[in-house]
Amino acid sequence: MTPASTDRSTTGVGGIDGILDAGHLAGLSPAALAEEFGTPFFVYDLDLIGRRVEALRAVLPRGFRIAFAVKANPSLAVLAHLRSCGVGADVASGGELETALRAGFDPALIAMTGPGKRDAELAAAVEAGIGVITVESPGELRRLESIAAATARRQPILLRLAVTDDAGLETVRIIGGVEGKFGMPLETLMEAARAAARSEHVELIGVHAFGASNVRDAEQLAAHVSELVGIGRRVAAETGIRLRLVDAGGGLGIPYSDGERPLDLARFGRRLGEMRARWDADEALAGMEILLEPGRFLVGPACAYVARVVDVKGPDSAPVAILDGGINHLLRPALVGSEHRLAVLATDAVRALVRTTVAGPLCTGIDVFTTEAMLPRPRVGDLVAALDAGAYGFTESMPFFLSHPTPVEVAVHNGRAQLIRPRITPAELLDRQINPDW
């Protein structure tokens, strides 16, 4: 691994590739942020998030909509800013639905996806009047029909197609016909579609499939959209419904390592534009909308996780730096085996680069960010930033492990930093527990 470039925010597509620029985070001094908010902390550049939304929107042809995948980052202030940017929300639980509503999203622009929806969650979604619910199984369809029947609203739905996943996390998933956790095989989906088309309580408007995760290949992403539209057309033809919406999911990727190329947005947009032209010439598809659900693409590069070096040991040529935060706050490196770019945010003279191990404070061998980063020789008190931490960072952490304080979250907008999630101490967590008086 190489040290993170200090000018990443000026590279790539339209200056939208990173929060770190010339040693500053979102234009502010890391030392000043640490002094004001303490460490560890997550810091978000809301203006960069807005630029990433606009960069994606600029390449999309007519009839494409964006719904942010809330699972990538459910911070209330981040969601409120995304809502102000004009995107919708994709939620996968009742808690995410409540968060999106509190952030001010128009219910008509909210889609609910995900397996295992409880009846109370489905009822809350119907009651809120959200735009569409993705149905994962015939059983869920029956439960939703019963819930919708008790209201005066006919709930719009999509049916989710099952996909194969032959290689695990963050790899290509190909549309297929297998029974699994997500969605339905095509044959089962067709049976559910015929039942839904007859229903007085749900309104089948299209199909959904999540085709991939963290993909930076424009052709692959476009091919998934094209294939799913073909399946949607078949469903509409065999059930007599009008195909109104195809939800192609997320999957738009970002680089996590130096040398990885970002998604070619212009090429992605050209491929989608070519498909849009063909669809507009097809009476069955001319009025169809496409929903994209990006998560990490919009927020990942706009955030850094910052922790302080509390100990340095080992030889000068191969030091081990121990931080005051680790996988309890940023689990992704250990969970998927993918390192984040690291930067030592030092303000003194340039130091020699040495092969460095960077680890957290937890009593487990997996609490390691890297074992071979070429970084400026660390010193106690240094600040270290893990970049591209805006998606599956705080939200995917395990903050209760070993009873450390939680990190704070800070947002920067128009040059001003503001606390958006305060630190929770172990004492506060203990106050919520009960020691029974037997």
Catalytic residue annotation:
363
Nearest CA-CA partner of 330 in 76, 80, 91, 73: 73
């929806």: which residue's tokens? 117
Distance CA 326, CA 397 (A): 9
- Those residues with Cβ within 8 angstroms of residue 315's Cβ, 6 or more apart along the chain or in another chain: none
CA distances from 240 to 55, 63, 204, 243 (A): 37, 22, 10, 9
Q: What distances in angstroms separate CA 68 from CA 201, 277, 293, 338, one per listed residue?
A: 27, 26, 5, 23
Name which of 291, 249, 265 is nearest 108 in CA terms: 291
Both tokens of 167, joined, read: 């290689």
Question: What torsion do the CA atoms of 6, 333, 54, 233 make, to the nearest 10 degrees?
Answer: 150
Looking at residue 109, the DSSP 8-state letter turns out to be G
**Among 98, 72, 104, residue whose Cα is nearest residue 86:** 104
Task: Indicate the pairing of strand 303-313 with strand 320-323.
Answer: antiparallel
Nearest to 28 by CA among 12, 50, 44: 44
Paired with 65 in beta bridges are 291
Q: Indicate the SS3 state at residue 277.
A: helix
Report in angstroms the alpha-carbon separations of 52 from 46, 302, 340, 365, 413.
Answer: 10, 9, 20, 36, 14
Round to whole Å and give the CA distance between 108 and 130. Answer: 5
